[in-house]
Structure formats: structure tokens, C-alpha cells
Structure 1
Amino acid sequence: MGGDTGGIDRVYRRRRKPPLQQLGLLGLLGANAFFQAGRFSDPYTHGDGPPGWPPLAFGLLVATTFVRVALEQLRAHTRVTTAGITVQGRLRSRSWTWGEVYDIRVERAPRGWGPQGGPQWLTYLYDFEGRRRLLWHLDDWQLADPYAEVSELCLSAAPYRSLAWEPRLQVEALILRGAARRKAWRWAVYGAIAVLVAMFVVDFWEIVNGGPDHPFLLLVCVPLASFAVLGAVLDRYWTSRPPGSLAQQP
């Protein structure tokens, strides 16, 4: 993080490496995926065909995850100046002037990020449309106290804003609806994973009993369809509720 030289000039980059447990798990998954892709042949060609699509697809997914993590660690950063905030993502950057920034908030990270799995608290920028954007590396994994850092940033930015840091009911309602929408699609992911596990069981049962086998239908089409349907239903249900009830949602 750069120093403050009379105004605001701070850059938040990776200072602490990702947890070894996380990198080790990715490494094991990647090695296993590529090993399986090279070792096993398509069962429907009795061992004489090209590698089956499930190991290849899983290997591609793991490779993509590796690239994402690498870009997050080496390229992504957040810069704060008197002009505003610039977020350099994995590939593209985006800038906001201070007049476009509604609020900067430290929020709990999504479930599954344990104490050894990365930051527990992340920082987001909110605009006046209720949209939010992650501020890279402004979290408790890279900083000792992100709350104090954000408070200092807001105080330092006050002279460069035409508006005070005060809540607006209309924007808060948009933020709550955005949170409800994210929750809906997060639960849709959980539901799709449960359906995928169930389809694995069904596919295995069909193979054991000599019935017709439809791996692409069961392991790809059905989970994706369940994700789309469940997400749409939950999105409509949660975002249609009054803002007051949305604020009570976990």
C-alpha cells in the first residue's frame, strides 16, 4: 500500500500469499484431473477411443480456476486517489469518480471461506444504482484492520465529494434487492450441486443394472436446467418482497 502524500494515493495489492491449503487442494485436483484424462478412455468405445469428456471437462475447469487465481494475485489491485477509485480486475479495469461512489462497505465473505481459506471480510464499492464491486485486496487477509482503513479512506475522500456520506432510502432499497438476488442464485448453485450428486447416483444405478446410460443428459443438462429454474423462482420470490423484509434476511 502506498503512502498518503497530502491527498489520497493508495494502491492495494497482494501482500500476503494465498493459503497453502488452498493452493495444495487446487494442485491435487488439477493433477488428478489431467491424470484421469490421459489414463482412461471413453467407456462407450471399449477403451479404444479418445479420453472421455468428463475428465477433460473437469481438467479444463481446474485449469480455468488456476488462471483466475493467478490473475487475482498478480494483476488485480485497487487504487484510490483524489480523483476516485480504480479497480483493476483480472483482465479489465473500471474507475469511479468520488461523485459516483455511494458508499464503501466491509462485508463478511461468502460462506466457505474459513480462517485458513482466505479473507473473512471483503470490501465493496456501491454506486447510486445499488450495484457493488469488489475492491481487490482491501480485506482482512492483506490488511490488519480493513474497517479502520475504509473509515480513513471515507474521511480523506470527503473534501473531494459533493455529497455527504449519508444513507439514501432509494439506494438502500436497491442494495437490499441486489443482496436478495445474489442470495437467490447462490442457493440455486447449492440446489444444482445437490441435483448433480443425485444424477451421479442415477447414472451409476443405470450402469449397474444394464439400463440405458445418458451421462450428458443426467450430469450436464439436468443440473443446468435445475440451476436456471431454481434461480429464477428464488430470484422472483425474494426480490419481490418489501425492502423492510429483505433487510431481515440472513
Structure 2
Amino acid sequence: MDVGGVEREYRKRRKLPRAYLLLLGAVMLNALLQTGRLQSGRDHGGLQIWASGATALLVVAAAVRATLEQYRAHTRVTAVGITAQWPLRSHTWAWHEVYDIRVQPSPRGSGRLAPQWLTHLYDMEGRRFRLPHLDDWQLDDPFAEVSALCLAAAPYRSLAWERRPQVEERIVRRAAGRKAWTWAAYSTLAVLFAMYAVDLWQVAVGRPEHPFLLLVCVPLAFFGVFGTGLQRYWTARPPRSLAQQP
């Protein structure tokens, strides 16, 4: 990394925290045990086989993504612009396409199990993109690094680093949409657990079972309807926390 100039590349330079690796291993081990339990059960119904295969696939996908995130993902900065290489795809922005670069708190950061501070690039349409390895896990002070980066990139931009009301409004609207679908996902998990309890109750009392309807159709329908409604509401009336975000 050329500290004095704009040419920089951010890659993994520190090992993952042990607590993160232990948690990831515990989650994967539990998923594999649950898959084995489903496979060895007496009732090999279609739903059990489907759930077993889906669980195994998710475990493999999570392991592959975590590996690629550490060893393939990176952020490269040149006089032409910024390139973000994520686990499977990449994107390059010319400097005139970059609206702002901001260090923001991670929604799931705990300091040990995930970074507390992440760096995001905002384009002129208010879209947000995470810049890999520009966080407090890989950098001692991501705020100072981003400030130095913006200062070094200023001569290559045709625009000043200043807030624009129209772009800020787009950013808030998109943040409201992300928040709405995140809450919809959390709520859908609660609905899924509730439907699982209903399914167990039907088995206990000897009533006809409808596992596909309860465990697939109902949660998916709830996710779509609740997420759409919440997005429309929060887009029209953004929460105060979004309007005051850094």
C-alpha cells in the first residue's frame, strides 16, 4: 500500500479471531449432525430428504463463501477508480461515479465475532457497496485510512467530497428498503418456528399434516407481503435513525 499516494490494495492481513472460527465450526457441526439425524430417521419422507439436502448444501456454501471472503476478496484503489472484488464477482467505479466513502457501524458487529466498523462506497444513485477488508479487523484505524484515501483521491475527481440533498435522499430510501427486508427476514424466522410448532401439534393430536404448506408456503408468503408493506411504509416515512445516519 502506497500510504502517500492513491495507489492502494486492501487484502486480508490478519487471521480471523478464534471466537469467530469456533462459532463457525459449531454452526457447521450442528448442521451436519442435524443432516445425519434426518438421514438416519425412520421416516424418509420427501420433506425430510429435501431438508437434509438443503442443509448440507447451505453448509458447503457457507464454508466456500467464508474461504473466498478471506483469500479472494480485496479492494484495489488506483488513479482511475476503485475496484471491489467480492467472493464471486467484482465491480469497478471511476472516480466520477463515486459519491462518498463512509465508515459505518456493522449491524452485527460485536468486536470479536464480526467487525464493528465496515467501509461502504456510495454511488450517485445512492446504492451502497461494501469495500472488502476495509474494516477494523484488518486496519488499526479505518477512519483515518478512509480519510487519507479520500484526500489522496481528491485530485482525480471532477467533484468535491460534499453532501448533495438528492443523493442523500436516495441513500435514506435505499437504507429504509434494506432495513425493511431485514426485519421481514427476522419476522419470517419467527413465523417459521410458529408453523413448526403447529406441525408438531398436528402430529401429536393425530390431525392430517401439511408440512409443505406450513413450513414453506406460509413463511414465504409472509416474507413477501410483510417485506413489501414495511418497505413502502419506511420509504415514505424513514425511521429517524436512518435520516441521521453518518
Matches within 5 A, 1:210-225: 210-225=206-221
88, 91, 94: which one pairs with 2:88? 91
Shift of 1:217: 1.7
Question: Do residues 103 (structure 1) and 95 (structure 2) align?
Answer: no
Q: Report the Cα distance in structure 1 between the residues aligned to 2:210 and 2:172, rounded to whole angstroms.
A: 41
Please report the RMSD computed on the Cα atoms of aligned residues, expressed in angstroms.
2.3
1:101-133 alpha-carbon deviations (Å, 9 max, x no partner): 1100011101x3312111011000001111111
Q: Report the Cα distance in structure 1 between the residues aligned to 2:34 and 2:241, rounded to whole angstroms.
A: 49
Shift of 1:31: 2.9
For normalisation by structure 2, the TM-score amounts to: 0.91
9, 12, 19: which one pairs with 1:11? 9
Indicate the residue corresponding to 2:231 in structure 1. 235
Would the alpha carbon gap of residues 206 and 87 (structure 1) be closer, same or farther in structure 2, given more than 3 Å must change?
Answer: same
Percent identity of equivalent pairs:
59
Would the alpha carbon gap of residues 20 and 78 (structure 1) be closer, same or farther in structure 2, given more than 3 Å must change?
Answer: same
Secondary structure of the corresponding residue to residue 125 of structure 1: strand
Shift of 1:95: 0.5
Shift of 1:212: 1.4
Indicate the residue corresponding to 1:52 in structure 2. 49
Q: Report the Cα distance in structure 1 between the residues aligned to 2:198 and 2:157, rounded to whole angstroms.
A: 59
Q: Report the Cα distance in structure 2 between the residues aligned to 1:242 and 1:222, rounded to whole angstroms.
A: 28
Matched residue type, 2:183: W
Matched residue type, 2:17: P
Matched residue type, 1:15: R
Question: Do residues 157 (structure 1) and 153 (structure 2) align?
Answer: yes
User: CA contact under 8 A between 2:12 and 2:70: conserved in structure 1?
Assistant: yes
Matched residue type, 1:61: L
Would the alpha carbon gap of residues 210 and 238 (structure 1) be closer, same or farther in structure 2, given more than 3 Å must change?
Answer: same
Which runs of 5 or more structure 2 residues have no equivalent in the other structure?
none
User: CA contact under 8 A between 1:87 and 1:94: conserved in structure 2?
Assistant: yes
Matches within 5 A, 1:169-188: 169-188=165-184
For normalisation by structure 1, the TM-score amounts to: 0.89
Shift of 1:185: 0.6
**Higher RCO by CA contacts (8 Å cutoff, separation 6 or greater):** 2
User: CA contact under 8 A between 2:109 and 2:115: conserved in structure 1?
Assistant: yes
Q: Report the Cα distance in structure 2 between the residues aligned to 1:31 and 1:18, rounded to whole angstroms.
A: 19
Q: Report the Cα distance in structure 1 between the residues aligned to 2:223 and 2:45, rounded to whole angstroms.
A: 32
Secondary structure of the corresponding residue to residue 40 of structure 1: helix
Indicate the residue corresponding to 2:60 in structure 1. 63
Number of aligned residue pairs: give it.
244
